[in-house]
Chain A
């Protein structure tokens, strides 16, 4: 594979990980990571939508007038989300039940709109697809990491296979909402320690697609 293309693909996995580095898509990250299996389901669904919407937007970007591009992107993304929703409902109803409301909410996942605006609207087809795929895999990896930690601590199992569940009482709070916030905070702290350059992690606003329209001073309040 071409080196530049490989770079587009690999940057989303670690260097610009959408969840841990760019602080995008925090809602699904916190909500559905109560088990590793859920995390994989959500990660896959979001990766497919992200890749397809990036591909579609990079192909038709020339026909979308600049002033209505955000509504147009949202419509394209919502179309793909509806397709995925119907497929999951038809073939894996268990996953549909556990993901519930968060499946249609992929539409407002800021990773997808963010990549459409920042990358797919400016790049050609192949780099856009690879960017979507890489970002999707980075998102899934972060979800899986959180899901595995929370499932292990909160239920004593991993992928529904009991590990410590038989001889240690699980710490149930980790699969409840407070545990989500806590584990996410700890993961960010960890990635901050691992990253040598502290400035790499910025606030949620830095990658927000409307940061220029909104002058809430949170950019100054970055970490």
Chain B
């Protein structure tokens, strides 16, 4: 019972890393990975919204859209749910958890257009329709793993970028090109995790 859950978590963090192997959420990955603390704030907010969005969209899909034959509204409904969740979260945090709002505040509006969030909600629905044992809990664990994977990629990359800054880079590669080449090398290193989850859990 618990083994498949751990497998999903490890798999979604390392092997199926959303940034480095699925190319979701590249904009914040390149945009706000300049310093480690901003990278952490952004990815914490993204992880939270991913989890919340999956928690809301999965029941909507299974209990409202599916029985009523409205699957074609998936994209439309999901993006509206995410946009309103982000707005709601902003209001709640602003009113009740002022300190958290101040530290995350600026990242919150950015999350609506982060394709990793919409991506994870659609991907878990897809997984659920292919495998009947993939339920609500599995979906939530998968969303959590995707968020943690996003955070790990952001933090590793923030470290890499800080080192690039002190290097003498050829003029035409300065800025984005060298950043992207560094991202390519980080992505290569993530290939090393292929099969780790299966091997460790002996599945």
The residue in chain B whose Cβ has the minimal distance to the Cβ of A103 is B75
**Interface pair A27/B38, CB less than 8 Å apart:** no
Cβ contacts under 8 Å, A201 to chain B: 175-176
B65 at the A interface (CB under 8 A) = no
With A75-B80, A86-B72 in contact, is A185–B110 under 8 Å at CB?
Answer: no
Number of interface residues of B (CB under 8 A): 51
Cβ contacts under 8 Å, B75 to chain A: 78, 81-82, 85, 104, 107
> Within A56-95, which residues are at the interface with B (CB < 8 Å)?
71, 74-75, 78-79, 81-82, 85-86
In the complex, identify which listed stretch (B3-11, B91-99, B130-138, B179-187) lies at the interface while the others stay far away: B179-187
**Interface pair B31/A101, CB less than 8 Å apart:** no
**Interface pair B21/A177, CB less than 8 Å apart:** yes
Cβ contacts under 8 Å, B26 to chain A: 26-27, 30
Number of interface residues of A (CB under 8 A): 54
**Interface pair A31/B23, CB less than 8 Å apart:** yes
**Interface pair B80/A71, CB less than 8 Å apart:** yes
Cβ contacts under 8 Å, A31 to chain B: 22-24
A124 at the B interface (CB under 8 A) = no
In the complex, identify which listed stretch (B43-51, B53-61, B116-124, B195-203) lies at the interface while the others stay far away: B116-124
> Within A164-190, which residues are at the interface with B (CB < 8 Å)?
173, 176-182, 184-186, 188-189
With A216-B31, A223-B175 in contact, is A27–B115 under 8 Å at CB?
Answer: yes
Q: Which of A184, A189, A221 contacts B173 (CB 8 A)?
A: A189
Q: Tell me the smallest distance from the CB of A93 to a CB of chain B, in Å.
A: 15
A222 at the B interface (CB under 8 A) = yes
A105 to B113, CA, bound (A): 10
Q: Which of B23, B118, B172, B187 contacts A189 (CB 8 A)?
A: B172
The residue in chain B whose Cβ has the minimal distance to the Cβ of A83 is B72
A205 to B178, CA, bound (A): 17
One digit per residue, 1 when the CB lies within 8 angstroms of any chain A CB and 0 when it does not, for chain B 58-82 equals 0000000000000011111001100
> Within A196-223, which residues are at the interface with B (CB < 8 Å)?
201, 203-205, 208-210, 213-218, 221-223
Cβ contacts under 8 Å, A149 to chain B: none
Q: Which of A28, A193, A215 contacts B172 (CB 8 A)?
A: A193
A192 at the B interface (CB under 8 A) = yes
Cβ contacts under 8 Å, B180 to chain A: 181-182, 184-185, 188
**Interface pair B184/A27, CB less than 8 Å apart:** no
A113 at the B interface (CB under 8 A) = yes
Q: Tell me the smallest distance from the CB of B31 to a CB of chain A, in Å.
A: 5
Q: Which of B21, B110, B175, B181 contacts A210 (CB 8 A)?
A: B110
- Residues of B bordering A, CB below 8 Å: 20-27, 30-32, 34, 38, 72-76, 79-80, 83-84, 106-107, 109-110, 112-115, 118-119, 122-123, 126, 172-181, 183-185, 187-188, 191
Extra inter-chain contacts (18) besides given A27-B26, A215-B106, CB under 8 Å: A27-B25, A30-B26, A71-B84, A78-B75, A78-B79, A82-B72, A86-B72, A107-B118, A178-B184, A181-B187, A182-B180, A185-B183, A192-B177, A203-B31, A210-B109, A210-B110, A216-B38, A216-B107
